[in-house]
A and B are shown apart, each in its own frame.
Chain A
Amino acid sequence: MIARLTLPALLCGTALAGFTPVLNLIEPRGGQRGTELEMHFHGERLDGLQELLAYQPGIEVRSIAVENDKHASAKVFIQPDAPLGEHGLRVRTAGGVSYLRSFFVGQFPTVNEADPNDRPDQAQRIELNTTVQGVAKQEDVDYYACSLKKGQRFTAEVEAMRLGRTMFDAYVAIVDPKGFEIASCDDAALLRTDAFVSTIIPEDGDYRVLVREAAYEGNDSCQYRVSIGTYPRPTAAFPAGAKPGETVEFKFIGDPGGEFAESIAIPAEASGRFPLFPSRDGLHSPSPVWIQVSPLAHVAEAEPNSGSRQATKLPDLPCAAHGVIGGDGDVDFLSFAAKKGENLTLKVLGRELRSPLDAVLSVRDAKGKNLANNDDQGGVDSVLQWSVPEDGEYLAVIRDQLKRGGTDFAYRLEITRREPAIAASLPVVERDNSQKWKVINVPRGNRYAAVVNITRENMGGDLAFGAESLPAGVALQSPVFHRSVNATPVVFEAAADAPVAGGLHRFQVKTTGDVPPLVGRLRDTVHHVEINNQGAYHSAEADRIAVAVIEEAPFRLELDPPAVPIVKNGSMHLKVRATRQEGYKEGINLRFLWNPPGIGTPANMTLAGDQSEALYEVNANGDAAPGEWQVCVLGEANTPKGPVLVSTALVTLRIADPYLGMSIDMAATEQGKPTTMICKVDYPGNFSGSATAELLGLPHGAKTPPVSFPHGQAEVHFPVEIAGDATVGKHTALFCRVTVPENGTTILHQVGQGGTLRIDKPAENAPPPPVAKAEDKPAAAAPPAEKPLSRLEQLRQRTK
């Protein structure tokens, strides 16, 4: 039976919701602007679906229906002015926010592929200007037929990898009435692995569009949307950049119907890579060409400029220039004035804006002498960090790496002084799973923690991290991001009465203290399709993070603040306590979320279902930075309603220099002959009471009890019993574990690394070694012995 729940009913609250909803697929993969459609969500724990979180405007949810925990649907209306192209969507249930999935908004009516259409004579007949949703199965070729007149533009563009479901390299071709492919495409610089074909029809007739996986290796997940029609498909815009708020007459290049111009107003708040959807005769390209929006003054290159004397002159720095490497062998010269000592960044935006250009950039002086050059510092694009040697005119020279060129080989050159910049992001915590832990689901009356990565360019210093907004009842605990680190954990806490709700929220980092104010955004990139060492095939970037208050979790975690510091080369155990709801007995997987510099911890540990406390081992190496650091532990556990994550609060971990140091003198003995290990102690720190030292790393057959000593004692002596069968050899792995008392607890030091004990076979003429017996008095209990001799002293005595 299908349980149909409406949106208001769900908002009243339901006990159905599972934690951590999984959204695997949105069907259909796209829809037409100005129409209403039923959007289906497939995944897990989708019961309790409350809303759709959309990163772009224009998709209006009219009702929601939950069929079961694996399937829900929504009636949505795509507004007529909704932006074309990819829309990022998440679903939010009372138990959390899902991963990001995509939905494509198009301008054409959408139809489904109708099998069989695997042969030209079976081609599915469609109207011009239609989008078909299909699947390229293994060895599957799909044909679609349209009637066309001579001179018409005929274009087919396929969204395949961009649908982000699976690794799917699509191939598309136009087949003429005689069966010849008159245009074909596997990959295009504009669309990466996706493909488009666009041509002018030579004769009246029935033409077919062919879609398949490039290597015929499709499968049931290889879905595509192919838009077939008479729409324009330019491949570049000129100029390839603009200022925010200005209206620019863009020339769209690369369409088979010829160049055309369109005047477009750039929004005042736009910045960075910006999409333009060229349109002609009321028809748009289904995907954009890209430009760069920034406030830099810009000029267009003036051809001819393929020599230093013809160089296009740029305005005062910082500035930008737009150009096209117009033909094979073309080189563009752009001249600019710079002052001695200026640190400049010269950056060519080519492939970044999906231009076919593989730029090579060089800087020459006015005489033409090469000063610096770069090919691929910015991916395929060129970036140069360059210090100006003296006042004067310089030339930026741009060409294609393979000396190719063409009308759409557009680029934008930016020359800027090196300015400070800061930014934040969320780290990838699992290989090939860039979405893991990228949403902030905070159970009511509980906490959730995330690590925030920061990047600083041309600046150093402490930074503060904060949210521009948060759901009601959620507080963010964020320590200062110390200048020496580029990541820090932050904790979100939801009040017990916080309403179950969520949304997309912006975060930023700011400078703190007496430094010029600087603000940077938190931006998160998820990779929809990525393969281990090959990298990402399709990604989506957002400047907003999903934050939600979710239903109560069945446990809380506390991290006890340590009473003493951890010392360099020392170790401590931090106590994690779990408060479980009555009857909740699942194991909790604990993870020390972030390690301060020089601190090491196991990646994770498990708090068994019948335990309420765990000791998390924390180790400091010799390079640990003394100071105070905020740390926390994140716990993940299964519940009958799915997995849920909660964190402890941030607590302060203090790293200190060791209170004492030790060096172990080398000792040598024979099998069966006891010896004394002498440790010299120095005391850079203070403590009261007795420290206890344990000598570890002894070989088989060597034993010594722990020794206690007060502050200030210069030497610690370990009487070592050596059994008759003790392992012969030079044993160099000895060290001391010393516990130093403080604050009613102890601080664990590890000192004296590299201590050496040599055990030889007894000399052949010596009497047989006495067999060690239990009743033998330990050497330590013997009557006050003479002062034990060091190895050196023993050797000296022997030679007397």
Chain B
Amino acid sequence: MKPTCPGNPLDRYTSRREFLHVGLAGGLGLTLPQFFRQQALGAQKHYETREGIAKGIIHIFLPGGLAHQESFDPKPYAPAEYRGPFGAIDTRIPGVQFGEKLKELAGLADKMTIIRSMSHGEAAHERGTHNMFTGYRPSPALEYPSYGSVISHELGSKNNLPPYVCVPSVPNEFAGSGYLSSAYGPFALGSDPAQGNFQVRDLNLPGGCDEFRFNRRKSLLETVDAHFRSLEKSDAIDAMDAFYQHAYKLISSEKAREAFNLKTEPDALKEEYGRNEAGQRMLLARRLIEAGTRFVSLTVGGWDHHDNIKGNIEGQLPRVDKAIAALIRDLDRRGMLESTLVMVTTEFGRTPKINPTGGRDHWPNVFSVMMAGGGFKSGYVHGSSDALGGGVDTDGITVEDLSTTIYNQIGITADKELMAPGGRPIEIVDGGHVLDVLLAKKA
């Protein structure tokens, strides 16, 4: 258990000397807030993390807002201007259809849970993204940590690998560590696995720098850091220190470095995933999870199709379909699907009616997400939208419930409170429930 986060004000005033110092400067008044803080600490809801069903999570986020009508929730009986330009195809779940451009996933529908009744009511990109990355509505008062950072904070690192990796880069400002120490922030690749010369930035010693020089530089840095630490106590210094520690481990561990090396994957598998952004990013995600990364956040494409949804979907969705399908098959073949949660989410859905420029606009009232593995049911469709795909018809699901369920499956009780600056205990998710109905195996 970590009583408080590094950098938390509660960490201060540990020595009698400092206490006296502050006490003298501020008079007795200072002891009262301190008392409240201690009280808050005492009342903080705490749960130990458990062994989860899911050992790792791959979060495939489709930025911009994928249209549910063209993907997991087609409306074949709706009028053409609602139905959209595509037909629906049968899936492995009897009576359940996907959009015709999800051909490969349709053949794997019996391996996944489809939720067709998500909603959060936030029609702006950044707000929708915030919901889907943190489980919270945005607040001007507090920056919330992303799923990856919470998992990093709760579960820590395994096999010297960063617990939270963003492929290929940190996708948005809400994917960070929020009020938690920046030590729990994501490790970003900094370059795209789809590129032939892909190499993770900063993973190897720079050219011309041998181990001796590296260690000398390291000790120099430690001297400087120690000096700063003696002057000031700050989250940034601790976080930087944590970063360096992670980085040293990563650089010095051959095995950890190998997790990032796509070159060792057979060509046939690379082909199966697709030699493109979507395919190679997902292949790398699998390698990372296999090696011990806890949470991989992966974005692909741009789905903000206000214009020409036909051309845009045709141009992008088949590759993503192929890549996700390959990922699920690959995990399944390796016996990792049970222990890996693959979640496909997006910012929000899109308007029921095709607009005059042949696109669909933002629509947070209902949209679809997909979960595979990690103890979620196989071949299950949860909830439904109405006849035109405009609202939740049955079994609506909130972001809070979904987040709580996801955390539960990796062994985190989302009701647990983490300490935000100012000594404010904040639940990992506020008020969500574990949705047993989605789960075949509950952690």
Q: Does A193 contact B (CB under 8 A)?
A: no
Q: Does B14 contact A (CB under 8 A)?
A: no
Do A727 and B95 touch across chains, with their CB atoms under 8 A apart? yes
Nearest A residue (CB) for B386? A733
Q: Of residues 693 to 719 in A, which have CB atoms within 8 Å of B's CB atoms? A: 696-697, 699-701
Q: Does A109 contact B (CB under 8 A)?
A: no
Do A700 and B94 touch across chains, with their CB atoms under 8 A apart? yes
Do A753 and B387 touch across chains, with their CB atoms under 8 A apart? yes
Q: What residues on A are CB-neighbors of B95 within 8 Å? A: 699-701, 727
Q: What residues on B are CB-neighbors of A701 within 8 Å? A: 94-95
Do A619 and B94 touch across chains, with their CB atoms under 8 A apart? no
Do B94 and A697 touch across chains, with their CB atoms under 8 A apart? no
Q: What residues on A are CB-neighbors of B96 within 8 Å? A: 700
Do A619 and B81 touch across chains, with their CB atoms under 8 A apart? yes
> Among the listed B77, B79, B94, which residue makes an inter-chain contact with A600, where contact means beta carbons less than 8 Å apart?
B79
Do B80 and A727 touch across chains, with their CB atoms under 8 A apart? no
Do A600 and B81 touch across chains, with their CB atoms under 8 A apart? yes
Q: Of residues 343 to 361 in B, which have CB atoms within 8 Å of A's CB atoms? A: 353-358
What is the CA–CA distance of A725 and B354 in the complex, to the nearest angstrom? 36
Shortest A749–chain B CB gap in Å is 13
Q: What residues on B are CB-neighbors of A753 within 8 Å? A: 387
Q: Of residues 148 to 203 in B, which have CB atoms within 8 Å of A's CB atoms? A: none
Q: Does A429 contact B (CB under 8 A)?
A: yes
What is the CA–CA distance of A696 and B77 in the complex, to the nearest angstrom? 8
Q: Does B11 contact A (CB under 8 A)?
A: no
Q: Does B51 contact A (CB under 8 A)?
A: no
Q: Does A166 contact B (CB under 8 A)?
A: no
Q: Of residues 722 to 766 in A, which have CB atoms within 8 Å of B's CB atoms? A: 725, 727, 732-733, 735, 753
Do B307 and A431 touch across chains, with their CB atoms under 8 A apart? yes
Q: What residues on B are CB-neighbors of A571 within 8 Å? A: 79
Shortest B220–chain A CB gap in Å is 37
Do B387 and A617 touch across chains, with their CB atoms under 8 A apart? no
Q: Does B292 contact A (CB under 8 A)?
A: no
Q: Does A603 contact B (CB under 8 A)?
A: yes
A430-B357 CB under 8 A given contacts A602-B85, A700-B94: yes
Say which size band chain B's interface belongs to. Answer: 10 to 19
Q: Does B314 contact A (CB under 8 A)?
A: no
Do A727 and B357 touch across chains, with their CB atoms under 8 A apart? no
A603-B94 CB under 8 A given contacts A619-B79, A619-B81, A697-B77: no
Shortest A259–chain B CB gap in Å is 50
Q: Does B265 contact A (CB under 8 A)?
A: no
Nearest B residue (CB) for A571? B79
Give the size of the chain A interface in residues (CB under 8 angstroms): 23
Q: Of residues 427 to 445 in A, which have CB atoms within 8 Å of B's CB atoms? A: 429-431
What is the CA–CA distance of A727 and B77 in the complex, to the nearest angstrom? 19
Q: Does B393 contact A (CB under 8 A)?
A: yes
Q: What residues on B are CB-neighbors of A725 within 8 Å? A: 94
Do B353 and A600 touch across chains, with their CB atoms under 8 A apart? yes
Do A604 and B358 touch across chains, with their CB atoms under 8 A apart? yes
Do B80 and A601 touch across chains, with their CB atoms under 8 A apart? yes
What is the CA–CA distance of A585 and B185 in the complex, to the nearest angstrom? 57
Do A602 and B357 touch across chains, with their CB atoms under 8 A apart? no
A617-B79 CB under 8 A given contacts A603-B357, A604-B358: yes
Q: Of residues 335 to 373 in B, which have CB atoms within 8 Å of A's CB atoms? A: 353-358
Shortest B404–chain A CB gap in Å is 25
What is the CA–CA distance of A617 and B82 in the complex, to the nearest angstrom? 12
What is the CA–CA distance of A621 and B353 in the complex, to the nearest angstrom? 12
Shortest A70–chain B CB gap in Å is 27
Shortest A428–chain B CB gap in Å is 10
Q: What residues on B are CB-neighbors of A601 within 8 Å? A: 80-81
Shortest B157–chain A CB gap in Å is 42
Do B387 and A603 touch across chains, with their CB atoms under 8 A apart? no
Q: Of residues 68 to 94 in B, which have CB atoms within 8 Å of A's CB atoms? A: 77, 79-82, 85, 94
What is the CA–CA distance of A588 and B95 in the complex, to the nearest angstrom? 36
What is the CA–CA distance of A727 and B355 in the complex, to the nearest angstrom? 34
The contact string, 1 if C-beta is below 8 Å from chain B, for chain A 753-785, is: 100000000000000000000000000000000
Q: What residues on A are CB-neighbors of B358 within 8 Å? A: 603-604
Nearest A residue (CB) for B306? A431
Do B77 and A431 touch across chains, with their CB atoms under 8 A apart? no
What is the CA–CA distance of A699 and B381 in the complex, to the nearest angstrom? 13
Q: Of residues 91 to 106 in B, which have CB atoms within 8 Å of A's CB atoms? A: 94-96
Nearest A residue (CB) for B75? A733
What is the CA–CA distance of A603 and B387 in the complex, to the nearest angstrom? 20
Do A619 and B80 touch across chains, with their CB atoms under 8 A apart? yes
> Among the listed A621, A700, A733, which residue makes an inter-chain contact with B387, where contact means beta carbons less than 8 Å apart?
A733
Shortest A720–chain B CB gap in Å is 14
Q: What residues on A are CB-neighbors of B354 within 8 Å? A: 602-603
Shortest A702–chain B CB gap in Å is 9
The contact string, 1 if C-beta is below 8 Å from chain A, for chain B 358-402, is: 100000000000000000000000000001000001000000000
What is the CA–CA distance of A753 and B358 in the complex, to the nearest angstrom? 27
What is the CA–CA distance of A732 and B387 in the complex, to the nearest angstrom? 10
Q: Which 3 A-B pairs have the closest CB atoms?
A: A700-B95, A619-B79, A603-B358
- B residues in contact (CB < 8 Å) with A: 77, 79-82, 85, 94-96, 306-307, 353-358, 387, 393
**Could you show 19 A-B contacts with beta carbons less than 8 Å apart?**
A430-B307, A431-B357, A600-B82, A601-B81, A602-B80, A603-B354, A603-B356, A604-B358, A617-B80, A619-B79, A619-B80, A619-B81, A621-B79, A696-B77, A699-B95, A701-B94, A727-B94, A727-B95, A732-B393
Additional A-B contacts beyond A600-B81, A602-B354, A733-B77 (11; CB < 8 A)? A429-B357, A430-B357, A431-B307, A600-B79, A600-B80, A600-B82, A602-B81, A604-B358, A619-B81, A699-B95, A733-B387
